[in-house]
Structure 1
Amino acid sequence: MIIPNEDACFRLLEKYGTPHHIVLHSEKVWQVARILAEALLRRNHALELDLLKASCLLHDIGKYPCIVDGSKFHDIRGEEILISEGYPAVARIVVQHVILRTEIPPIAEEHVLFYADKRVVHDEVVTLENRFQYLQDTYGKTAKAVERLMIMKQNTVQLESEIFNLLDFAPQDIPQLLEEYSRK
């Protein structure tokens, strides 16, 4: 399995024209995911940190190309890009950051990325309630879109419960844990 390191991830983001604010978002998603993953690893859950890091940093690589050509489904575009670049393992996770396609348990990299992405608006950690309000305000233009977002919210709340049942801290502790981590 070939996984791009951090420098390679940033080169790919640049190659595909990813705007700075999306890069900042992706970095914050990785910070949240790292807190969760390290806690899960301490509890003997099998996760590949390098794979998760690359997936977090690259999860929105398809967004700018979709903006440019007016297409939808930046998750699928990201998968296509990453496969073409030789990173199918990362692609398998990135394609799931909008719609999860794997069952839980066990908690895997795609679940951690999916959840971490739902906790970050731009580059700020927020509650699920705030994130889904943002998503509804931004993307809830039709009744069908609102319905999809409500289903996604229900699934995300369930995933949050699954993840935090395994941990010794609560979802609302993430901002404080990030602050503590940044001081190390």
Structure 2
Amino acid sequence: MFLQPVYFPYDSRWKIPAREKCIQYWNDFKLPEHIREHSRLVALIAENIYHAANKTLHVPVEAVVASALLHDIGKFYCIEHGGFHNQLGASLVMQLTGNPAIAQGVMHHVFWPGEIDVDKFFLPLVLIYSDKRVKHDTIVSLETRFQDLFSRYGLNERMNGLITKSWEQAVAIQNSFNQNFGIDLNARTFDCGRMV
């Protein structure tokens, strides 16, 4: 069972690592190139959604980008040694940056245990959605991404149920962004910034 996330207003005193610093962290944790490229694309989508929103957001775009660049910082370690990469990553990010908003995005990029309120929880929700639009190192539709997840991980009824729940949440987040920000995420390619 997941604990309900706590809303806390963004504090401008929290430090945000620049892109170059995030890349230094990738180097420090020996992230393979395919995880780096995946993270770059997740950051590209998250930043694109941020700028496409037709309202003021209460979190700086730099925090959104940093969270996206660092969301898989714990993945390579967990591939080699086991564990949950989102939990390890959130712990590392909190230690490295001292920024709880960025760490919250990393912690919850796999699944969001709270209400889908894109105004209150923009950063973690945009990170979940953006991550679900990148299959390995390619920007894809939600449908394509989840077809891949079902084929690779849907090995039993329990796993199929978890993937289905994640699919339903990703669609709900997409619909909420579309409605609240007046955008159509299905019509965006993200890699070129134009509509399809």
- 1:45-64 pair list within 5 angstroms: 45-64=57-76
Going by fraction, where is helix more abundant, 1 or 2? 1
- 1:106-145 pair list within 5 angstroms: 106-107=118-119, 108-145=122-159
* 1:76 corresponds to 2:81: no
- 1:136-175 pair list within 5 angstroms: 136-175=150-189
Q: Which residue in the other structure is 2:25 paired with?
A: 12
Give percent identity, aligned residues only: 28
Confirm or deny: 8 A CA contact 1:29 1:116 kept in the other structure.
Answer: yes
Confirm or deny: 8 A CA contact 1:61 1:78 kept in the other structure.
Answer: yes
Aligned partner of 2:164: which letter? M
Q: How many residues align?
A: 178
CA displacement at 1:20 relative to structure 2 = 0.4
- 1:85-104 pair list within 5 angstroms: 85-89=96-100, 90-104=102-116
1:31 pairs, out of 32, 38, 44, with 44
Name the SS of the counterpart of 2:180 in structure 1: coil
Aligned partner of 1:28: which letter? L
Moved more, 48-57 or 87-96: 87-96
Aligned partner of 2:84: which letter? F
Name the SS of the counterpart of 1:92 in structure 2: helix
Aligned partner of 1:21: which letter? H
Aligned partner of 2:95: which letter? S
CA distance in 2, matches of 1:21, 1:148: 25
Confirm or deny: 8 A CA contact 2:177 2:183 kept in the other structure.
Answer: no
Root-mean-square deviation (CA, aligned residues, Å) is 1.6
Confirm or deny: 8 A CA contact 1:76 1:95 kept in the other structure.
Answer: yes
Gaps of 5+ in 1: none
TM-score (norm 2): 0.84
CA distance in 2, matches of 1:85, 1:167: 32
Name the SS of the counterpart of 2:181 in structure 1: coil
CA distance in 2, matches of 1:149, 1:180: 29
Gaps of 5+ in 2: 1-13
CA distance in 2, matches of 1:130, 1:154: 14
Confirm or deny: 8 A CA contact 2:52 2:183 kept in the other structure.
Answer: no
CA distance in 2, matches of 1:12, 1:67: 18
